[in-house]
Structures are given as structure tokens and as C-alpha cells.
A = this chain, B = another copy of it.
Amino acid sequence: MATIEDVARLAGLSRATVSRVINNHPYVTEEKRKSVQQAMEQLGYVPNSIARQLRTQTHETIGVLIPRLSNPFFSKLVDAMENIAAEVGFQLIVCQTKSQKERELLYLNWLKTRQVGGIIFASTENEWDVIKPYKEFGPIMFCNEYPPHTEAPIVCLDQLKGGYIGTKHLLERGHKKIAYCYAGSQFTNIRERYAGYKKALDEYGLPLNERWMFKDAYDTRDGKRIYHALMQQADRPTAVFTSSDEVALGMIAEAKRNGTAVPDDLAILGFDDQPIAELMDPAISTVYQPVEQIGITAIRMMIRFLRNQSVPVNEITELPLHLVVRHST
């Protein structure tokens, strides 16, 4: 590999001048610029980004924390982020926490070792107090989900509204017994969604039934499990507000297999609006989340932090959500 030294020698100039050409600095005669460029070309020279990072104390790698890539919501999110990052030469590092606190911390420590320059949390496991000390080592921000008391930039969705419009839709369809599924921890902003659910119920003067709350609802397997738990109850709900299209998918498949008509016997509402939602039979009614938008907004912010070496301001950006009515409700 040719180094800046090689280029300098070939061009008959100093490393400093070559460096100036590379970085488009002023005060280089056109003539010398030309000869440097020619030498670079001839040697196939490309600056070593490692050396550059060491010298400038800058970073061009961003860690994105997600539970797992095989969850379509997150793969789509990372997809959107990567498009932007690649455009400007930044690298995205996949960090799958597998929903484990320790793994999240493992990746957070990469900030100290400089293996990543900044971190975007797209999901969170640890509480803010645990994460906060890492702010010292690089920009940290949240998108999609964040723990209470977060003191960092946030890009998120109006989950309260999501919970509200979803529930209201079911209520308007005449349902009075509506089950609710949620993913693990209620320590993040996802509990906002729950508040929206309660709000809608309140408006209709309906009580909340604890037995119709189902936690740990992540994927199709959970959907199946919850379907059975639901059907075993004496006082059965007539509708379910699931936590994701995955869960809805699993429930619908299992419902059909067991002769439960959807939506007649059981209405099922998804969340996300993934491509499969439209393809299922019945097509899944769901709450659309602008995944790409969150991704793009977040990554742009992070790139700005890294470029300007600026301290993130704790602003919060909230993106809208809307209902997509199909045939499962």
C-alpha cells in the first residue's frame, strides 16, 4: 500500500503539501496540486482512514443498537440508516443486543475503545442512569424507543396517538372487550402506547381488564401463544390490539388453524404496517409507523454530531403515525 510518503517522494514534494492537496486546503499552487494528483493516481494512493482517525480524533463509524436484525421492523430501520451513512462514507455497525442488558453494555463499551464513534439506540435495555456515563465517550442518541428521564436527543413516534387511534378504531367497530399485547419492558416510551389504549377505553367508559394484558409479545411464536391463552379464558375478548404485525400474523395463522374466524370471532389489529400485513388473508389492519423516516432523521443527526464534534442537544423529534384499515378488524 502506497503511503503519503511515497506520494510525496514521487511528486518531489513534502508530505505536508500532499496532505494539503488531499484535504483541499488553500495555499497550494495549481502546478503542485496537479503533480500531487498525478502521483496519487500513479501509485493508486488512498488515504489510510485508521491513521487519519488517530490523528484527527474523529470517527466515521456508528453503532446501531437493535434487539435483532431478523425483526423486520429493525432491519428496515437499519436499511434506511445505512443508505444515508454510505452516501457520506460513514459506516454502520450492527449491534444486536438480543434484548439483553449485558450485551447492550458490551456495545456501549465500544465507545470507550473507539470501535464506534457514536451510538444510536433503536431499542433500550438498561436504564438511563446506567447509560448516561457513556455520554463522555461519544454522542449517544435514541430513536424509536428510549428509557424514562433520558437526557439525550430523541427521534420517536407519537406512540400515545398510536395506542389511541388503534383502540378507538376497534371501539368504533363495536368491540367492548379489547385485549392488549406489549413487548417486554414497560420502562421505555412504549408505555405511552399503553396510555393511548387506556385513554380510548376511558372515553368509552370501559374498564381495563388485567387478564387481557399480554406481555412478552415480540414475534409470531408469541402471537400463537397469546392466541391460546386468550381462547382459554371464560370471558373472552372479541378483539386484540397486538404489539406488532409479527404477533398479529402468528395469531391469525393459529386462529385459522383452530377454526376461529378473523375478524368475525376475533378482530386482530397489528402494528408497524410491514409488507406482509397486506399479503395475509385476511389482510391485517394495522398502525403504520414511518420506519424509514425515523431512521433517516436519526442517522442524519448522528452524522452531524460526529462531523462537528458537537455536543448533542437534548431535543426531541416526534414523527406522526396513522391507521391502515384492512380486513382483520
Contacts and interface: CB of A to CB of B under 8 A. Distances in A.
A96 interface: yes
Interface in A58-100: 60-61, 68-70, 72, 75-76, 78-79, 82-83, 86, 89, 91-96
Interface of A: 1, 44, 46-51, 53-54, 60-61, 68-70, 72, 75-76, 78-79, 82-83, 86, 89, 91-96, 103, 106-107, 109-110, 112-116, 137, 219-220, 249-250, 253, 256, 275-276, 278-281
A254 B137 CA distance: 52
A94 B96 contact: no
A115 B60 contact: yes
A95 B81 CA distance: 11
A101 B51 CA distance: 29
B70 A96 contact: no
A54 B46 contact: no
Instruction: Give the residue among A79, A94, A281 with the most B Cβ atoms within 10 A.
Output: A94
A184 to B, nearest CB: 19
B95 A86 contact: yes
Given A49-B115, A220-B279, A93 B92 contact: yes
Number of copies: 2
A249 B49 contact: no
A223 to B, nearest CB: 9
B75 A113 contact: no
A100 to B, nearest CB: 11
A69 B60 contact: no
Nearest to A110: B91
Instruction: Give the residue among A50, A95, A253 with the most B Cβ atoms within 10 A.
Output: A50
A50 B47 contact: no
Q: Closest 4 CB pairs between A and B?
A: A75-B75, A253-B279, A69-B79, A46-B112
Given A49-B113, A60-B115, A72-B75, 11 more contacts: A1-B112, A46-B112, A47-B113, A48-B113, A69-B78, A69-B82, A70-B72, A83-B96, A91-B93, A91-B115, A253-B281
